[in-house]
């Protein structure tokens, strides 16, 4: 076994190092995007508490469009992007929710990169955006990416993912839950196999993936995510302010020479330290 794909979990990583010392560990991009979505939700909820003194309701545009904030930018139509712009303009006076959304989209663009130079550029852009935002939520996300960067880089280099395994595991749990338990293991296995066959035939496109748009339909992974207009993201990234810095280190050398920018390798933001 040469490569193992895991969640960003320290116990998982330490167990794999002990059992498979020569295997390369890759972090699945799905879990990193999930962390970014959780960051956006945390910022939205915090802003609502600070501005309104309560949780969001149907009277608040940011709460009404909370699902749209978590949707991949490349899957939003121009009309939906305009709706999102109006919601943020009306319910985000500090631009913190918009900055969190922009950081999330920059992370998605980083995870879609494959060229080493493109990876360096997008990583640097992502770190600068997190530091410029000066929010504890974006600082925490950037720190997580820095901690797991060698394993994120393995994913970017190899394009491996455990999405199929995660999907099958979800189906198995769903069949078990809806069946309220099976006493016959053979029937349980038949139900799982038939459910997988039906659902995969219904939702799987030619390229074998559903969450991203493929530039070349019919080809297998990796598919490149088509990013939204960069100008839309830039409008939500505040200008650089005093209080952030980038310092040198050895992480880039361990990760194969891909750091945040030429001459730098690790990120530190003062906002959440």
DSSP per residue, 106-138: HHHHHHH--SHHHHHHHHHHHHHHHHHHT-HHH
Collapse the DSSP code of 154 into the 3-class scheme (helix H, G, I; strand E, B; otherwise coil) and give the result. Answer: helix
Q: What is the mean pLDDT of residues 244-261?
A: 36
What predicted TM-score, i.e. pTM, was given to this entire model? 0.70
Q: Which residues of 179-191 are buried (b: 16+ CB within 10 A; e: fewer)?
A: eeeeeeeeebeeb
Mean per-residue pLDDT for 213-240?
43
Helix (H) or strand (E) holding 3: strand 3-6
pLDDT value, residue 234:
53
pLDDT at 114: 92
Predicted confidence (pLDDT) at residue 98 exceeds the cutoff of 90: yes
Residue 200's pLDDT is what? 62
Q: Is 8 in a helix, a strand, or coil?
A: coil
Percent of the chain with pLDDT over 70: 72
Q: What number is the average pLDDT over the span 40-45? A: 96
CA distance 66 to 145: 24
């Amino acid at each position: 076994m040469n490569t193992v794909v895991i969640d960003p979990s320290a116990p998982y990583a330490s167990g794999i190092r002990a059992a498979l010392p020569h295997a390369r560990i890759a972090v699945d991009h799905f879990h990193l995007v999930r962390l970014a979505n959780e960051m956006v939700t945390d910022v939205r909820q915090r802003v609502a508490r600070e501005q309104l003194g309560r949780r969001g309701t149907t009277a608040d545009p940011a709460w009404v469009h909370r699902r749209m904030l978590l949707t991949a930018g490349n899957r939003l139509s121009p009309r939906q992007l305009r709706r999102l712009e109006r919601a943020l303009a009306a319910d985000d006076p500090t631009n913190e929710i918009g900055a969190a959304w922009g950081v999330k989209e920059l992370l998605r663009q980083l995870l879609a990169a494959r060229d080493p130079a493109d990876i360096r550029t997008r990583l640097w852009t992502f770190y600068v955006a997190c530091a410029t935002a000066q929010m504890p939520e974006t600082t925490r996300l950037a720190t997580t990416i820095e901690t797991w960067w060698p394993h994120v880089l393995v994913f970017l280099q190899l394009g491996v993912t455990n999405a199929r395994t995660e999907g099958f595991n979800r189906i198995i749990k769903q069949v078990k839950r809806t069946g309220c338990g099976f006493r016959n293991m053979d029937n349980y296995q038949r139900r799982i196999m038939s459910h997988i066959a039906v659902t995969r035939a219904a939702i799987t496109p030619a390229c074998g993936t559903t969450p991203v748009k493929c530039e070349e339909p019919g080809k297998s992974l990796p598919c490149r995510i088509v990013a939204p207009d960069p100008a839309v993201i830039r409008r939500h990234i505040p200008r650089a302010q005093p209080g952030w810095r980038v310092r040198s280190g050895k992480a880039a050398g361990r990760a194969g020479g891909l750091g945040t920018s030429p001459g730098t390798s690790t990120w530190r933001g003062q906002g959440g330290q």
